[in-house]
A and B are shown apart, each in its own frame.
Chain A
Amino acid sequence: AIQMTQSPSSLSASVGDRVTIACRASQGIRNDLGWYQQKPGKAPDLLIYAASTLQSGVPSRFSGSGSGTDFTLTISSLQPEDVATYYCLQDYSYPFTFGQGTKLEIK
C-alpha cells in the first residue's frame, strides 16, 4: 500500500498567518490527492481534489499544489474557523490511504 506522510503533525499559528501543510507519498501518485478538513466531533469535509482543484463552496484562502510525490495545502490567511485537523488522501490506487493528520490550532 502507498504510505502517506504528513508534516507537521501539529501546528499553532496566528490569525492572518499563512499556513502550509505538507504531504509526501511513498511512490508517485500523479495528482491523485485530496485534502479533507475535520472539525471535532464532525465528519470530514472535502476541501481540494486532484491536488489543486478547490471544491465548490470552499473559501479561496485554501489552495493545493503538487504532483508526483510531494503535495502542499496552503491557507493564505488563517481564520479562527480553520481550527481543525487536516488529512491528505491518495486516491491513485487501492487501497486508498490517508496521511496521519495535521492538527491546526490558533496561537
Chain B
Amino acid sequence: EVQLVESGGGLVQPGGSLRLSCEASGFTLRSFSMNWVRQAPGQGLEWISVIEKITDGKYYADSVKGRFTVSRDSGRNSLYLHMDNLRVDDTAVYYCARDLRPTDLQEAFDIWGQGTMVTVSS
C-alpha cells in the first residue's frame, strides 16, 4: 500500500527545535518531489516547503525560511523537516505530501500523511 506516515510532533517551548519525519512505503520517495504543508488549529492549509526530485532543489514559504530545513534519506525512504527557533505561531498539524507530477509541467499532491501535531508553548 502506498502511504506516508509522519512522526516527531509534540510540545516544544518557544525558541526550541524539533525534527519531523515522514516515512514512505509502497513507493520510492527519491523518485518524487515531496512537500510539507501545515494547518494551524481551526485555520486553512499553508504550503511550507518542497524538496524536488532529481535536483534536490529546496524551497520554503517566507514564514519558515531560515528556520526550517527539509531533507530526505533515501536509505530510510524518509523525508524530514528540521525546525529551529520555533514560535507560537508555528503551532499546527504538519502534513507531508507526495507530488505525483503527472507531467513535467503539472503538480498534484496525490498522497498525504495523516499529520503530526506540533505545539509551541511555554
Interface size class of B (residues with CB under 8 A): 20 to 34
Of A38, A49, A50, A95, the residue contacting B45 (CB under 8 A) is A38
- 15 contacts across the A-B interface (CB closer than 8 A): A1-B61, A44-B97, A44-B109, A46-B108, A49-B102, A49-B106, A49-B107, A55-B108, A87-B44, A94-B50, A95-B59, A95-B61, A98-B44, A98-B47, A100-B44
Cα(A87)–Cα(B62), bound, Å? 20
Tell yes or no: A105 within 8 A of B by CB: no
Mark the stretch among B7-15, B24-32, B82-90, B112-120 that contacts chain A: B112-120
Contact: B47 with A95, CB < 8 Å? yes
Where the two chains meet, the residues of A that have a C-beta atom closer than 8 Å to any C-beta of B are 1, 32, 34, 36, 38, 43-46, 49-50, 53, 55, 85, 87, 89, 91, 94-101
**Given contact pairs A43-B115, A49-B102, A94-B59, A34 touches B109 in the complex (Cβ within 8 A):** yes
Q: Does B73 contact A (CB under 8 A)?
A: no
| Interface members, chain B 65-122 (any A CB < 8 Å) | 95, 97, 100, 102, 105-110, 112-115
Which residues of chain B come closer than 8 Å to A45, judged between CB atoms?
A: 112
Tell me the B residues contacting A by CB distance below 8 Å.
35, 37, 44-47, 50, 59-62, 95, 97, 100, 102, 105-110, 112-115
Which chain B residues lie closer than 8 Å to A46 at the CB level?
100, 108-110
